[in-house]
Structure 1
Amino acid sequence: MPSTADPSRPGQPHQSISVRTSSPPPAMPPPPMRSLSPEELLAQTSLLDNLMDDIGMGKFQKQLMFLCGLGWFADNMWMQCIALILPRVQDQFEIQDKYIGILSSSMFVGMMFGAMFWGMLADAYGRKQAFNFTLIVTTFFGIAASFANSYWLLCLLILGLGFGVGGNMPVDGALFLEFTPKKNQYLLTFLSIFFSFGAVATSLLGYFLLPPFSCETHVEGGCRGRGWRYMLLALGGLTLSMVVGRVILFRLEESPKFLLNHNRHQEAAVVLCRIFEINHKEPQSDNFEENIEALTTRFQQPDTGIYSGEESSSSESESSDAGTSPTEFGNMRRVPTSDPDSALSRHRRLGSNQTGGPHSHEPGTRPSYFARQRRHWKHKWNTALRRLEPLLAPKFRLSTILIWIIWALVAFAYTAFNVFYPKFLQEHGQTGNESLKQVYQDMIVYSLSGVPGSVLATYMVETFLGRRYTMAVSTFGTALSVILFAFLSSHTVSVVVSAILSLLSTLNYAVIYSYTPEVFPSEIRGTACGVAAAMSRLAGIVSPLIVGAMLTVNTSFPLYASALTFLISGICMVFLPIETRGRAAT
């Protein structure tokens, strides 16, 4: 009988599965997996934690930390790029202050939808796809934006760029956390050092590319300098090199926590064994093998009883999202089905021909292509909405609401200051008109000052302050720094104060980005991080528009608004109900 390799499990050893030579009647779906009790879920999580402890923090996690860090690097690299090129784009296309904020807002619109899309994709179909495709989309739109011949086309391309880069931080943070042993989870905070390095890299490129190819003063008819185009092109090429590192040079495994949540216990066991082999040269210990066997036999028990049509439908939906689980760890074969294609393809072939169903049709006919697509996307939309419901369950409601407020307020305040920082430097110095070279030198100092913030945050979150109070203290300090920057006119003092502000805001962001995935369990972690990041991007959309309007009145008004917003967000941090220090991610 002919056989072929399993095409839906890339990277696994080629196993033989039977392929039918004829088209038999469709088989009944396999019985649904029974739901695990709370005690069993706790035992499963504890067992996985033991396995991750046996695997340890080795070569695989170190490589993954670097590649996840590249996503954080790209996120801030592109945001800093928009801040640097904003005045140059304004000069070339002669855009008024009240409209120039639209460019930055376009970036945040894309990042908002990108954060939600890639976060939900990661929860529904796995971290692996989102991890690989975010930077591919970013590269395409980043390079394309360098050739934009109008301001509005540039805004549109930057929106697409934001859609790609917006998924990096929520997806990469969740992915790294789920591959890291409990005792090393503090490294998620350290990951933010890449965020700081992204700003440093962009500032250095700006120093070398923008002053030589830009106009020092306003030119009638618009400056023809191409410095900002070279910036976009250079960063697009740099992002492309990150894509090569992720997709070609590293073999990413799917998250074991994601696989367990989708009843794919055998695949989770294979992934864990594979990572053990990467990290250790010696054979697996007896304890590790016993835990693997327990993982694949204890928690994967099919419900053989009679189940209702509603339960069957739910099971089919889960099967469609998660794939079919293997039944035997030894031979790694799938549960037999009538066709190796996806559940969606099987659904389309059957045409949803249930008697009396809302989409039933005459035998021998099929619904139109558009009807099938409409039904398909309606199902996806309903699935996405259902994924939001656990975030507002009583257990997480207060945490979810406060985290959304914090992400939004901090993003508003940080964007109000950071996006227009070059403009503030030019207008708040002693001369009131600093040279471009001086401005970009100050930007390098500002960016470099953020690097120690990530290291300091990694230490502080493990002290008595924990995650919550580390966030709060750094945020209150950031608010004070913004006020001082607004009132002090000396160039030297302004640079020193902005350096302190950069350190504290980086420390603040480092903890926010690590705290959020630690609060929520694995099955909703991607969605939780994605929606929180979307709140951040929504505030980022509004902030440049409001700041642009404020600039037409007084350049200090945005600074006062930024300080007040930082202050309110710090108060919210104090009231967060969950402290995650010393708690294993579930």
Structure 2
Amino acid sequence: MDVEANTSSASAADKIKSRSNASLAERSIAHGENDILGGENVDQVLAAKMTLINDAIDEIGFTPHHWKLFCLNGFGYAVDSLILLIQSIISTQAGYEFQPGFSTGLTIAVYVGMLVGAIFWGFSADIVGRRFAFNVSLFVSAVFTIVAGASPSWIVLGLFICLSAFGAGGNLVLDTTVFLEYLPSQNQWLLTLMAAWWGLGQLIAGLFAWAFLPNYSCADAASCTYDNNMGWRYVWYTSGAFVFVLSILRITIIRLEETPKFLLSEGKDEDALRVLRNIADKYQRPCSLTLERLQACGMTSQRRTTAARMAERLIDPREVIFHFKGLYATRKMALSTTLVWFSWLLIGLAYPLYNVFLPSYLASRGAQFGDSSQYVTWRNYAINNTCSIFGPVLAGFMCRSPWFWGRRGTMIIGALVTMIFFFCYTQVRTESENVGFTCAISFCLNIYYGTLYAYTPEVFPSAHRGTGNGVAIGFNRIMGIVSAIVAHFADTKTAVPIYICAALYIVMALVSAVLPFEPYGRRSS
């Protein structure tokens, strides 16, 4: 009888405790009504804890730690655009030397590398964490970028470009994820501003081309040798050295700890709190969150234990399925995920058609205007890429203003204005018009692109953010491969790609208008 009474008493106590935890979780969720995914709660305990973590991050506020992250994560943006554009910049001169059978092979190689990198690093970020990819990916890219300059053949060059892009493209998945998961909610607009680093990478690529190609390049395939065509190799060596310096800065300026939101999703409440307390103590900011408050919401499963277990999870297909299901947990989340991925598919076709093949188009336009010299071509290219830096800067301020309807409104405006300039560009008749309109397109295009980069991680749940980001950018890379194949069989020196791009931006604006979530004034999970 005593045993039965004790058992009954324990059972009752457990039920009371369970109801109490559920009540705490519900109150925390109610307090987090302003969270973007606040009404889409699947795991109430995790949602309640995320609300408390968001409150703590807001309480600590913006610190020098966040400025360091802004720059260090921005390096990834710069390197991604740098590697992407360098292969298109040097492909003509490398082609003169190697005389390949498939002219756009390097473009396919860079997009394949970025596709595999985005998928691999994206999935691994949700399984083994963000920190490893953040520290390693730029170094991987730097090594193969340097080695690419010494390539003895077209195939070997394509291989090293692919491996370099594997690091750069995978790194890009983590840039927005890591920065967002440390950001106070009132500063989330900085995620859009960070895309200015993308334009800086383009500018650096253009400056390297301007510095080396006009002076160290052969004139045509008939006269081309290793010795009189070193310019494209110098571009790779210099770019690789630049990326290597950035990779060293990443591990010396800041010792990145795992993001508190990832630790929370792994059931490591104590570690998540420790990371936040370290930042608060270092910069003398308040942090009133306690472990007791986190644990009072209930317990989430601690899914990661040993290194061997992490390796098992990395190759376990059930892990992939788990994270995909998390992105489609509710009808509204499923619609959002699908539309975001579709947006990346569209920009993945439009962007390469215009930007990756812009050098050949600029050269052909220059020939019409009476000056097709490499100096003028790469000068114009550098000027064009300088303008692309300021598109995300304007987008960042538009995103934080109610006058432009938040992120979705900024993307709609960016896409429609870009479309108008694309149509206008087909009527260019002078050199000054050529430079002016390409600069305007680069500026406006990056209003949309920069905002999409920021919007994507904001509307994904933190436990599945790496997967969602990785697949989104993966779709982008797939369409880059398609555009390279199309370019091989089509004439990119005509205005046809411009018309196609303009039409695609109309569709992008329509998709932006029906996206179900608006992050303006709300917090990411």
* TM-score where L is the length of structure 1: 0.78
- Residue 163 of structure 1, CA deviation: 0.9
Q: Do the aligned partners of residues 294 and 432 (structure 1) sit closer, same or farther apart at CA in structure 2, a change above 3 Å counting?
A: farther
Alignment counterpart, residue 297 of structure 2, candidates 291, 299, 308: 299
Q: Deviations over 1:170-220 (max 9, x none)?
A: 2110110000101111111111111111111111111111111112x3241
1:123 aligned residue: 126
- Residue 501 of structure 1, CA deviation: 0.2
1:435 has 2:440 as partner: no
Separation in structure 1 between the aligned mates of residue 139 and residue 363 of structure 2, nearest angstrom: 36
1:576 aligned residue: 515
Separation in structure 1 between the aligned mates of residue 223 and residue 217 of structure 2, nearest angstrom: 14
Alignment counterpart, residue 459 of structure 2, candidates 516, 519, 527: 519
1:160 has 2:163 as partner: yes
Which moved further from structure 2: 151-160 or 472-481? 472-481
Are the aligned partners of 1:108 and 1:162 in contact in 2 as well (CA < 8 Å)? yes
Q: Which amino acid aligns with 2:412?
A: A
Q: Deviations over 1:457-491 (max 9, x none)?
A: 01111223211121122112222222222332322
User: Secondary structure in 1 aligned to 2:290?
Assistant: helix
1:132 has 2:135 as partner: yes
Alignment counterpart, residue 479 of structure 1, candidates 419, 425, 449: 419
2:259 aligned residue: 255
Q: Which amino acid aligns with 2:254?
A: F
Q: Which amino acid aligns with 1:477?
A: V
Alignment counterpart, residue 71 of structure 2, candidates 58, 66, 69: 66
1:557 has 2:496 as partner: yes
Are the aligned partners of 2:407 and 2:451 in contact in 1 as well (CA < 8 Å)? yes
Are the aligned partners of 2:88 and 2:357 in contact in 1 as well (CA < 8 Å)? yes
Q: Do the aligned partners of residues 424 and 342 (structure 1) sit closer, same or farther apart at CA in structure 2, a change above 3 Å counting?
A: closer
Are the aligned partners of 2:384 and 2:435 in contact in 1 as well (CA < 8 Å)? yes
Structure 2 unaligned spans of 5+ = 1-20, 27-42
Q: Deviations over 1:420-473 (max 9, x none)?
A: 111111111334651000011101110111122111001111223211121122
Flag as ranges the 4+ runs of structure 1 deviating above 6 A: 34-37
- Residue 255 of structure 1, CA deviation: 0.4
Determine what percentage of the aligned residue pairs are the same residue.
Answer: 30
1:201 has 2:199 as partner: no
Are the aligned partners of 1:73 and 1:194 in contact in 2 as well (CA < 8 Å)? yes
Alignment counterpart, residue 192 of structure 1, candidates 174, 178, 195: 195
Q: Which amino acid aligns with 1:566?
A: Y
Separation in structure 2 between the aligned mates of residue 295 and residue 491 of structure 1, nearest angstrom: 65
Alignment of 1:284-433 (within 5 A): 285=286, 288-289=287-288, 291-299=289-297, 301=299, 319=303, 322-323=304-305, 342=307, 344=309, 376=312, 380-393=316-329, 394-429=331-366, 430-431=368-369
Are the aligned partners of 1:75 and 1:165 in contact in 2 as well (CA < 8 Å)? yes
- Residue 555 of structure 1, CA deviation: 2.3
1:469 aligned residue: 409
User: Secondary structure in 2 aligned to 1:167?
Assistant: helix
Q: Which amino acid aligns with 1:241?
A: V
1:270 aligned residue: 274
Separation in structure 2 between the aligned mates of residue 392 and residue 296 of structure 1, nearest angstrom: 26
Are the aligned partners of 1:60 and 1:278 in contact in 2 as well (CA < 8 Å)? no
1:12 aligned residue: none
Q: Deviations over 1:268-327 (max 9, x none)?
A: 1111111112222xxx65xx34x223344323548xxxxxxxxxxxx6xx63xx23xxxx
- Residue 565 of structure 1, CA deviation: 2.0
1:44 has 2:49 as partner: yes
Q: Which amino acid aligns with 1:129?
A: F
Q: Which amino acid aligns with 1:392?
A: Y
Alignment counterpart, residue 446 of structure 1, candidates 379, 384, 388: 384
Structure 1 unaligned spans of 5+ = 1-33, 303-314, 324-340, 346-372
1:220 aligned residue: 222
Q: Deviations over 1:559-579 (max 9, x none)?
A: 222222222222222221211
Separation in structure 1 between the aligned mates of residue 425 and residue 91 of structure 2, nearest angstrom: 21
Tell me the matched-pair count: 481
Separation in structure 2 between the aligned mates of residue 342 and residue 455 of structure 1, nearest angstrom: 41
Q: Which amino acid aligns with 1:402?
A: L
Separation in structure 2 between the aligned mates of residue 138 and residue 389 of structure 1, nearest angstrom: 31
Separation in structure 2 between the aligned mates of residue 419 and residue 378 of structure 1, nearest angstrom: 33
Are the aligned partners of 1:112 and 1:533 in contact in 2 as well (CA < 8 Å)? yes
Are the aligned partners of 1:475 and 1:505 in contact in 2 as well (CA < 8 Å)? yes
Q: Deviations over 1:346-372 (max 9, x none)?
A: xxxxxxxxxxxxxxxxxxxxxxxxxxx
Separation in structure 1 between the aligned mates of residue 69 and residue 172 of structure 2, nearest angstrom: 14
Are the aligned partners of 1:182 and 1:585 in contact in 2 as well (CA < 8 Å)? yes
Q: Deviations over 1:90-146 (max 9, x none)?
A: 2222346xx222211210111111111111111111110111111121012111111
Q: Do the aligned partners of residues 343 and 145 (structure 1) sit closer, same or farther apart at CA in structure 2, a change above 3 Å counting?
A: closer
Pairwise CA RMSD of aligned residues?
2.2
Separation in structure 2 between the aligned mates of residue 102 and residue 481 of structure 1, nearest angstrom: 30
User: Secondary structure in 1 aligned to 2:400?
Assistant: coil
1:236 aligned residue: 240
Q: Which amino acid aligns with 1:53?
A: D
1:211 has 2:214 as partner: yes
